Amino acid sequence: MRIATWNVNSIRARTERVGWWLDEHQPDVIAVQETRCTPAQVPGALFADRGYQVVAHGVGSRGGVALASRVGLVDVTLGIPGAVHPLDLPVSISATCGDLRIHTAYAPNGRKVGTEPHRVKLAWFALFAAWMTIDGVTDRPTVVAGDLNIAPTDLDVWDPARYRKRNLTSRPERDAFAALLETGLVDVVRAHHGDTRLSSWWNRRGDFYESDRGWRLDHILTDPTTAKRVRTAVIDRRERGVARSSDHAPCYIDIDPAEAGVSSAR
DNA sequence: ATGGTAGCTGGGCTA
């Protein structure tokens, strides 16, 4: 089972690249962030022609998420149940795909430490973590995949000292990320790459990609039992270097089948 | 510390 996540920075501008990538990498489920369109504007044939069901959430030209699956797509929840302004953001989708509970999110960017958008970002993380607990992340095979807009450690920033107190890398954001993990989730991409520096996003401006000045903002987390079944975890940085592609690289994991007779419930 | 680009939108904002 292959689960992918990709911030495409406009699904309409990226239809050709996403189609190529789906054909090449054949994910069973793909979580998409920054669709930058309404659910009705998501190009349906992109997914339907390849056998995927798709559900989307978002309000228009900014943000927006989608979840596409060819192994089933049921029990869908858009956003976080019960969230109220300013935390009722259309930035997450939860659904059951085959035997996996999948959550995708495009976390608020936060813009700048100390601002109102940054406070909303931190509060949204607390609420999202609570939603993960309520939905039972440790009770069934679960994957959380998306652009969480946090570089969780110094290994996830090209120049940690330069950005230590800045948006994406600040202490409060890293605490928020750690609190999300404390609901019972494992950062399986980091777990598969040891202490190597990793990036999933490179600023389009200047030569950030060419000089490998990037940040790891896109994440795939699983419950501990599923984490043991993860065979590979890949950040497809090559795709970031292709003409007319997104500023984020696609990421995916391959999950081995559960052993017969071994329950994943704990 | 600043500037650089891309996308949506039809000027400026967000990332």
Tens digits of residue pLDDT in A41-99 = 999 999 999 999 999 999 999 999 999 999 999 999 999 999 999 999 999 999 999 99
The answer on pLDDT for A150 being more than 70 is: yes
The answer on pLDDT for A6 being more than 60 is: yes
CA A219 from chain centre, in angstroms, equals 5
- Tell if A203 CB is < 7 Å from nucleic strand B: yes
- Rounded, the Å distance between the CA of A207 and C1' of B3 is 12
Tens digits of residue pLDDT in A234-266 = 999 999 999 999 999 999 999 999 887 665 555
- Tell if A206 CB is < 7 Å from nucleic strand B: yes
Enumerate the nucleotides of strand B whose atoms come under 7 Å of any protein CB: 3-9, 14-15
Q: Which nucleotide in the DNA or RNA is closest to residue A247, CA to C1'? A: B6
CA–CA distance, A208 with A23 (Å, rounded to integer): 28
Q: Which nucleotide in the DNA or RNA is closest to residue A10, CA to C1'? A: B7
A33, β-bridge pairs: A7, A65
pTM, full prediction: 0.96
Tens digits of residue pLDDT in A109-129 = 999 999 999 999 999 999 999
- Tell if A64 CB is < 7 Å from nucleic strand B: no
pLDDT at A261: 61
Tens digits of residue pLDDT in A201-240 = 999 999 999 999 999 999 999 999 999 999 999 999 999 9
CA–CA distance, A106 with A65 (Å, rounded to integer): 7
- Tell if A108 CB is < 7 Å from nucleic strand B: yes
CA–CA distance, A173 with A164 (Å, rounded to integer): 11
What is the Cβ-side half-sphere exposure of residue A149, based on CA atoms within 13 angstroms?
A: 24
- Tell if A164 CB is < 7 Å from nucleic strand B: no
CA–CA distance, A191 with A193 (Å, rounded to integer): 6
Angle at A209 between CA A46 and CA A219, to 5 degrees: 60
pLDDT at A265: 53
- Tell if A161 CB is < 7 Å from nucleic strand B: no
Instruction: Tell me which protein residue sits closest to nucleotide B13, measuring alpha carbon to C1'.
Output: A62
- Tell if A13 CB is < 7 Å from nucleic strand B: yes
pLDDT, mean of residues A36-43:
98
- Rounded, the Å distance between the CA of A216 and C1' of B15 is 15
Could you tell me if A176 and A261 are in contact, meaning their C-beta atoms sit under 8 angstroms apart? no
CA–CA distance, A52 with A204 (Å, rounded to integer): 30
- Rounded, the Å distance between the CA of A105 and C1' of B5 is 25
Instruction: Tell me which protein residue sits closest to nucleotide B14, measuring alpha carbon to C1'.
Output: A62
pLDDT at A262: 60
Q: Which nucleotide in the DNA or RNA is closest to residue A201, CA to C1'? A: B15
CA–CA distance, A208 with A69 (Å, rounded to integer): 33
CA–CA distance, A109 with A256 (Å, rounded to integer): 33
Could you tell me if A109 and A121 are in contact, meaning their C-beta atoms sit under 8 angstroms apart? yes
- Tell if A61 CB is < 7 Å from nucleic strand B: yes
